[in-house]
């Protein structure tokens, strides 16, 4: 009697555990998926693909779980040697032993973290499915009442499994729920396996990779479902309580529904991704076989019969792409935060070219944005006399991908020429460096010749190179010295301008002054300087938000960038030494000055404000009265160089924009002492 009492007590304990597990499962199904997913992501640390023949193993699993026995194209003998049997056995044990108080969530996370963290998502799923297939296969064989195998019959008797089919509808419903869940599990795994044939680089390129996210989410719930189903099968040993079976049936059906819904989402995403990849490959082929401007139509997704293009500063005026036939077209590609001064400068050069070439050249602006800001877009668009997209959102994602991956667009503005009768080789993106240096849009069509002429000759930093197309030369006046100066120390500016007036009076040499703002200056902070220049009538000034100042500093940065690409540094190249010296002025608060003559082939004379004042203060010691301008410039340069030789201390730094190409540390040599410069990262906000 005591033995029967113990058996009865044991059954009650198992039933209670099952009921408690069902309550935990219900709470989990209603819980926050995002919170669970964060935990799952932390366990995912793949080390590359570790199992190649997943399809072969999955085919064998299907024959067990779905009782499928189609003609297989997979050689089962080849699969045998690749099956991770030891790992599958470990997970088998975890599934079989989950009939204790441990809930399915804990077991699922344990499997993901301790056994499968180094595997890819599809590998995790197939391995867990294989472990489940082993346990389920044994259960399936033991529940076949008509089996002639006496060993199977006796094992089923010892586990009291012969009662399952005798209970009636409860067991049939449970069996149906198990099969329904198994079918959902196999379907979602099959769906995930499809993603492995897609280009993985596509997902890496996505800012928000939704498909991999959904795969990870589906992986968790699929493994959770396997663990739950496996634990229920294990708890069927000796179980006759129909209410418990009904509760199990309900939970399995709920899980089957959840897994099936995830499979449907994944299938839609797979179809979408497959279509996008096929479209991307088609677009690549279109560009590889490029013939004319009609390719522009393939970049846009426009509905309702609207045109894709409008005139920038008159966005009510629509433009038919076919109207570009026979024209030379540049695609202007920029980020959403393109510099206004950059666009204003480009506008001047574009209008100048249009007048000269009778409107045979056109620009089409394609802004590449992650988040559309209508105010910023409209502000930039209003500056443009050329064609622009109606709205950045109409640019197809595959077109943006092509621009980023093939044309290597980051955030630096580029121009891509579309010739009337071109070929794929002509579709080479151009940085704007040669444009800012030459001031001629047509120079972008001869970029290689430009590079050769710039760096394979004895290039000198003359005033013409620095100011060509920026500062208008008045040919009606005798050539005078032009002095560009800057800095934000108003005391030095007062002293310097006073000194220049004294020099002009004593030498009778004409010196014109132009104050140049730093490229990143905030103009209203410098109002005192502008007011002083205006009040004292000591020349003109260029504000930071004006195109003259922006173009001046950008031209220097462009020459520097080009030199870096060509392997030049300040230690072995005088031009790079001069450019770096000039760029150092842009990053300094202190004063500086540059002297030169337009039309002269001589290099400019340059120095920091302290040096210039000291040299000019001693002008009576080194300048001979009655000599010409050339003699003055030569003597000034000699005095500055002599001063630098005996200078005991210097602090020399350059602030470069992120658009400058990556610079090897060994190429950044101080232009004064030839030592390697240190590198620091600076974040700046000035409002």
pLDDT band at 160 (very low <50, low <70, confident <90, very high): low
Determine the 3-state secondary structure of 380 from DSSP.
Answer: helix
For the chain, percent of residues with pLDDT exceeding 90: 37
Up-side HSE of residue 173: CA atoms within 13 Å toward CB?
A: 16
Please, what is the Cα angle at 119 between 265 and 177, to 5 degrees?
45
In angstroms, what CA-CA distances link 337 with 88, 261, 341, 372, 538?
Answer: 53, 41, 12, 11, 35
Task: Tell me if residue 519 falls in helix, strand or coil.
Answer: coil
Q: What is the pLDDT of residues 460-493, one digit of tens each?
A: 899 999 998 898 876 666 678 999 999 999 999 9
CA distance 88 to 85: 5
Tens of pLDDT along 505-530? 989 899 999 999 988 777 677 889 99
Q: Is the pLDDT of residue 3 over 70?
A: no
Q: Is the pLDDT of residue 659 over 90?
A: no
pLDDT at 13: 52
Pick from 485, 684, 445, 669: nearest CA to 560:
669
pLDDT score of 333: 96
What per-residue confidence (pLDDT) applies to 23?
52
E strand residue ranges, 425-502: 430-431, 481-486
Mean pLDDT for 430-455 is 72
Q: In this predicted structure, which of 156-170, 177-191, 250-264, 277-291 has the lowest mean pLDDT?
A: 156-170
For residue 572, pLDDT over 90 is answered with: no
Q: Which residue has the higher pLDDT, 591 or 454?
A: 591
Q: Measured in Å, how far apart are the chain's first and last C-alpha atoms?
A: 89
pLDDT at 608: 92
Residue 378: DSSP 8-state? H
543-570 as b/e, with b when 16 or more CB fall inside 10 Å? bbeebbbbbbbbbbbbbbbbbbeeebbb
Tell me the average pLDDT across 237-265: 87
In 459-570, alpha helices (H)? 463-467, 490-507, 527-536, 547-565
Strand residues in 45-133 grouped as ranges (E): none
Check residues 22 and 221 and name the one with the higher pLDDT.
221
CB burial string 319-351: b at 16+ within 10 A, e below: bebeebeeebbbbbbbebebbebbbbbbbebbe
Say what percent of the chain tops pLDDT 70.
Answer: 78
Least confident of 3-17, 368-382, 413-427: 3-17
Lowest mean pLDDT among 212-226, 553-567, 664-678: 664-678
| pLDDT per residue as tens digits for the range 624-657 | 887 888 889 999 999 998 988 776 666 767 777 6
The answer to whether residue 602 scores a pLDDT higher than 60 is yes
State mean pLDDT over 137-141.
79
Is the pLDDT at 504 greater than 90? The verdict is yes
Tokens of 424: 């794929």
User: Mean pLDDT throughout 226-246?
Assistant: 82
How many angstroms separate the CA atoms of 197 and 274, rounded? Answer: 10
Query: Is 391 in contact with 269 (CB distance < 8 Å)?
Result: no
Q: Of all helices (H) and strands (E), which one includes residue 365?
A: strand 361-367
Task: For tokens 């950045």, name the residue.
Answer: 392
pLDDT tens string 42-58: 899 988 888 778 888 99
310-336 per-position pLDDT tens digit: 998 887 888 898 888 888 889 999 987
Q: What is the pTM of this model?
A: 0.73
Quote the pLDDT of residue 422: 62
DSSP-assigned states of every residue in 193-226: HHHTTS-HHHHHH-SS-HHHHHHHHHHHHHHHHH
Report the chain's mean pLDDT, rounded to a whole number.
82
pLDDT surpasses 70 at 124 = yes
Segment 409-413 shows an average pLDDT of 88
* pLDDT score, position 564: 80
Q: Give phi and psi for 594, each to the nearest 5.
A: -130, 130
| Least confident interval from 168-172, 254-258, 331-335 | 168-172
Residue 5 pLDDT > 50, yes or no? no
Q: What is the pLDDT of residue 208?
A: 44
Q: Please compute, for residue 489, the number of CA atoms within 13 A of its CA located in the half-sphere on the CB side.
A: 15
Residue 534's pLDDT is: 94
The region of weakest confidence among 6-15, 259-268, 538-547 is: 6-15
Does pLDDT of 19 surpass 60? no
């Amino acid at each position: 009697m005591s033995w029967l009492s113990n058996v009865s007590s044991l059954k009650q304990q198992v039933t209670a555990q099952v009921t408690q597990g069902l309550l935990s499962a219900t709470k989990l199904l209603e819980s926050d998926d995002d919170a669970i997913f964060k935990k799952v992501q932390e366990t995912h640390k793949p080390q590359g693909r570790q199992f190649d023949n997943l399809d072969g193993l999955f085919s064998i699993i299907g024959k067990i779980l779905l009782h499928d026995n189609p003609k297989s194209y997979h050689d089962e003998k080849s699969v045998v040697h690749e099956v991770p049997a030891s790992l599958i056995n470990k997970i088998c044990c975890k599934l079989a032993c989950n009939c204790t108080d441990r809930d399915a969530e804990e077991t699922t996370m344990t499997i993901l973290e301790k056994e499968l963290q180094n595997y890819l998502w599809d590998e995790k799923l197939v391995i867990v499915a294989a472990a489940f297939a082993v346990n389920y296969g044994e259960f399936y064989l033991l529940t076949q009442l008509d089996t002639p195998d006496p060993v199977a019959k006796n094992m089923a008797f010892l586990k009291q499994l012969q009662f399952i089919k005798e209970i009636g509808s409860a067991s049939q419903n449970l069996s149906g729920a198990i099969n329904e869940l198994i079918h959902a599990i196999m379907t979602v795994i099959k769906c995930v396996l499809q993603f492995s044939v897609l280009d993985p680089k596509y997902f890496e390129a996505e800012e928000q990779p939704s498909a991999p996210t959904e795969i990870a989410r589906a992986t968790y719930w699929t493994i959770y479902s396997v663990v739950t189903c496996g634990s229920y099968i294990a708890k069927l040993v000796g179980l006759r309580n129909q209410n418990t079976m009904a509760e199990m049936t309900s939970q399995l059906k709920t899980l089957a529904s959840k897994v099936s819904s995830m499979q449907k989402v994944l299938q839609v995403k797979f179809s979408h991704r497959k279509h996008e990849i096929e479209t991307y490959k088609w677009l690549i082929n279109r560009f590889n076989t490029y013939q004319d401007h009609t390719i522009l139509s393939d970049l846009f997704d426009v509905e309702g019969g609207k045109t894709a293009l409008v005139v920038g500063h008159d966005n009510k005026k629509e433009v038919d792409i076919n109207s570009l036939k026979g024209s030379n077209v540049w695609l202007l590609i920029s980020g959403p935060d393109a510099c206004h001064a950059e666009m204003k400068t480009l506008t001047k050069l574009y209008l100048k070219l249009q007048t000269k070439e009778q409107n045979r050249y056109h620009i089409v602006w394609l802004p590449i944005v992650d988040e559309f800001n209508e105010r910023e877009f409209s502000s930039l668009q209003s500056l443009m006399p050329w064609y622009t997209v109606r709205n950045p959102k109409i640019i197809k994602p595959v077109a943006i991908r092509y621009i980023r991956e093939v044309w290597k667009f980051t955030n630096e503005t580029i121009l891509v020429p579309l010739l009337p009768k071109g070929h794929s080789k002509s579709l080479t993106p151009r940085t704007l460096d040669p444009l800012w240096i030459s001031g001629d849009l047509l120079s972008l069509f001869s970029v290689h010749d430009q590079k050769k002429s710039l760096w394979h000759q004895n290039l000198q930093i003359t005033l013409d190179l620095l100011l060509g197309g920026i500062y208008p030369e008045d040919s009606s006046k005798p050539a005078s010295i032009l002095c560009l100066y800057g800095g934000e120390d108003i005391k030095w500016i007062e002293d310097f301008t006073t000194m220049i007036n004294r020099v002009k009076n004593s030498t009778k040499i004409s010196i014109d002054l132009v104050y140049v703002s730093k490229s990143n200056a905030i103009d209203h902070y410098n109002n005192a300087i502008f007011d002083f220049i205006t009040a004292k009538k000591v020349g003109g000034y260029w504000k930071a938000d004006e195109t003259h100042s922006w173009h001046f500093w950008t031209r220097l940065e462009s020459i520097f960038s080009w030199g870096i690409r060509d392997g030049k540094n300040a230690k072995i190249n005088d031009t790079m030494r001069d450019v770096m010296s000039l760029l150092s002025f842009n990053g300094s608060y202190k004063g500086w000055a540059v002297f030169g003559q337009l039309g002269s082939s001589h290099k400019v004379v340059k120095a920091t404000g302290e040096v210039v004042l000291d040299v000019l203060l001693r002008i009576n010691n080194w300048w001979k009265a009655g000599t010409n301008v050339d003699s003055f410039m030569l003597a000034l340069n000699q005095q500055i160089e002599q001063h630098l030789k005996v200078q005991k201390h210097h602090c020399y730094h350059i602030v470069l924009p992120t658009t400058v190409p990556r610079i090897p540390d060994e190429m950044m040599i101080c232009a004064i002492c030839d030592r390697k410069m240190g590198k620091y990262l600076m974040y700046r906000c000035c409002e």
